[in-house]
Structure 1
Amino acid sequence: MKTPKIAKHYQKIDAEHFDLKTVYHWVDKQPGTLFYVLCNNAKAFLKRIIKSNTLIEAAGGLVTNQHGEHLFIYRNDKWDLPKGKIEKKEKTKIAAVREVEEECGIKVNKLEQKICKTYHTYIYKGEVVLKKTHWFKMSYNGNAKLTPQLEEGITDVRWFKAEEVSTIVKNTFPSIIDVLEKEELITSREVLL
């Protein structure tokens, strides 16, 4: 068991009686509050959650251009990274590139290493689901006009310099913070508090 370093800013959720469907609705009614689950074995706990819920697998990318800027999309009133569901029998890396290209209207030049996996929950067809997203670094060397995929609810696609990422952090999802932290575009979750 490991309590978060900044636990004083978080509310603890009991792991023993944890039910994602119940907890999701309870947490959703407390915007701006941060939570953590303290358990003996995080991998076993996650396996239990995955087994008892619908899991949707997705892939996406953190794209960097030749000027060192990073590509973000604006969807559902939040800044996000391009990502989407992996199609049946599709390889994860292929899905990541396809989703970036579809959602942003560019052609990825290079798929690089995997960054991390993130998990988040949301309502899909009236049911609480768990989404596992595989994130990859990608490179783009071009000047094509960015085109948001409007049918996916994306209203803006934009390049941000590293020093501008703090604007994103103020209006994004915790799973995106995980990716940005892993890639050292932000150095601490303290920026969220």
Structure 2
Amino acid sequence: MYKVFVNNTPIILSTKKGIEDYETIHIKEVDFPKIIRNILRKENEGIEVKYHFYHKIEDKLLEHLYAKLPVVVAAGGKAYNAEKEILFIKRNGKWDLPKGKVEKKEHLETAAIREVEEETGVTGLEITKFLYKTFHVFKRNGEFRLKVTYWFEMITEFDGELVPQKNEGITKVKWKNRKKAKKALTNSYANIKKLFSHDYLS
């Protein structure tokens, strides 16, 4: 099962033929831009909508999804310092984790470290494991696109100055302990919250 977020509204992708309370559509028949516009319109009206795309073969779910919209591949990091604090950035008034577009022929791990360094000023990063892949829809130059972000857990001994990448719209960079991280996640994005365990958030 996968979730594709349009703002904070998840679209479910699965091999099930139906999910209760969801409008189910075979993924081959999906008019994705039309559905996105409907979700955004309903969100503005304060109405919740639930969509479920299905295909009996799991691999075909992503294959058809990637054919529906232009795909942008990104990579990012959930970085910890020596005090086990997590590195957050603030952009567009919301707390986020650093990430960015993968360059042509660039390895995902290399891109993830580069983006965290560029957006925060933190150096000495080391990847400890792959975490998760998230999907969300955004609009650029009047066109809807699908961002697929590969997230990695990282550690660093860095204790220097944090430098927000202002030309990317980042206004703050902060190390946050568990209490402050939980608070930040109340003003974040649904696909970022997926990178934190239920126990962490409870």
TM-score, length-scaled by structure 1: 0.84
Are 1:85 and 2:85 an aligned pair?
no
- Aligned equivalent of 1:142, options 158, 177, 185: 158
Which amino acid in 2 is paired with 1:50?
A: Y
Are 1:177 and 2:193 an aligned pair?
yes
- Structure 1 distance, partners of 2:159, 2:61, is 45
Q: Relative to structure 1, is the Cα distance of residues 57 and 146 closer, same or farther in structure 2, using a 3 angstrom cutoff?
A: same
Quote the residue 1:96 is aligned against: 112
1:121–1:130 Cα contact (<8 Å) kept = yes
Unaligned runs of 5+ in 2: 1-15
Question: How far 1:125 moved relative to its partner?
Answer: 1.6
Correspondences of 1:38-187 after superposition (within 5 Å)? 39-41=54-56, 42-181=58-197, 185-186=200-201
Which amino acid in 1 is paired with 2:185?
A: V
- Structure 2 distance, partners of 1:49, 1:152, is 28
- Structure 1 distance, partners of 2:38, 2:197, is 27
1:165–1:185 Cα contact (<8 Å) kept = no
Identity of aligned residues (%): 33
Question: How far 1:106 moved relative to its partner?
Answer: 1.0
Q: Relative to structure 1, is the Cα distance of residues 87 and 24 closer, same or farther in structure 2, using a 3 angstrom cutoff?
A: same
Question: How far 1:36 moved relative to its partner?
Answer: 4.5
Q: Which 4+ stretches in 1 moved above 6 angstroms?
A: none
Cα-to-partner distance string for 1:148-168 (whole Å, 9 max, x where unaligned):
100000011111112322222
Quote the residue 1:37 is aligned against: 52
Root-mean-square deviation (CA), in Å?
A: 2.2
Higher alpha-carbon deviation: 14-23 or 132-141 = 14-23
Give secondary structure in 2 for the equivalent of 1:185: helix
Cα-to-partner distance string for 1:24-69 (whole Å, 9 max, x where unaligned):
1211223374734152545423321111210000000000111111
Q: Relative to structure 1, is the Cα distance of residues 14 and 153 closer, same or farther in structure 2, using a 3 angstrom cutoff?
A: same
- Structure 2 distance, partners of 1:34, 1:177, is 20
- Structure 2 distance, partners of 1:105, 1:74, is 14
Question: How far 1:101 moved relative to its partner?
Answer: 0.2
1:83–1:96 Cα contact (<8 Å) kept = yes
- Structure 1 distance, partners of 2:155, 2:18, is 36
2:119–2:165 Cα contact (<8 Å) kept = yes
1:63–1:137 Cα contact (<8 Å) kept = yes
Quote the residue 2:39 is aligned against: 27
TM-score, length-scaled by structure 2: 0.80
Unaligned runs of 5+ in 1: 188-193
Give secondary structure in 2 for the equivalent of 1:142: coil
1:121–1:129 Cα contact (<8 Å) kept = yes
